[in-house]
Amino acid sequence: PTSATNGWGPYEKDMSNGEQAAGDGKTLNVAGQTFQKGLGVHAGSTLTYNLNGQYDKFDASVGVDNEVGKGGSVGFQAYLDGAKVYDSGTMTGGQAAKTVSLNTTGKKELKLVVTDANRPGVKVTVPTVKMTDVPASATPAPGATPAAK
């Protein structure tokens, strides 16, 4: 990402958000389904990506990481050029991942936001994140899935 804030420690690539140290997460897991790729974040996070109009589509799955159990609740939002284009509503631990598919043609910025849905301390997993039609010279897109703590 071109900028990142995370509610607890650093965001993690290809693992859940662990504690305060980088690389201390576990395998991404939403409702018993594990994922090898993704981003691990903690509620209260924002990851911003510079698209430069060079991407056509953003696909992802979002969910609460199993590390939280059934007690956590979060909201996942996506913004394109400052406009909210996706809101998962409140998601809870144990709930299956939701699919996000956005047309990003001509867009300059993608912002991924995880809120605490009035219940702080939750890990969120975005098990699959994919940008399509990316020229070799483009700014790297999210290559992993966001997981929030």
> Which residues have CB under 8 Å from 80's CB, separation 6+?
102, 104, 107, 109, 110, 111
What is the band of 77 on the pLDDT scale with cuts at 50, 70, 90?
A: very high
Tens-place pLDDT, residues 88-108: 999 888 888 898 899 999 999
Tens-place pLDDT, residues 10-30: 888 888 777 776 767 777 888
Q: Is the pLDDT of residue 40 over 90?
A: no
Of residues 51, 100, 46, the one with CA closest to residue 80: 51
- For the entire predicted model, the pTM comes to 0.77
Tens-place pLDDT, residues 99-137: 889 999 999 999 999 888 765 444 555 544 444 443 333
CA distances from 38 to 29, 99, 142 (A): 10, 14, 8
Q: Are 8 and 16 in contact (CB under 8 A)?
A: no
pLDDT at 113: 92
Tens-place pLDDT, residues 140-149: 334 433 333 3
Token pair, residue 44, equals 């209260």
Beta-ladder partners of 96: none
Letter for the amino acid at 33? Answer: Q
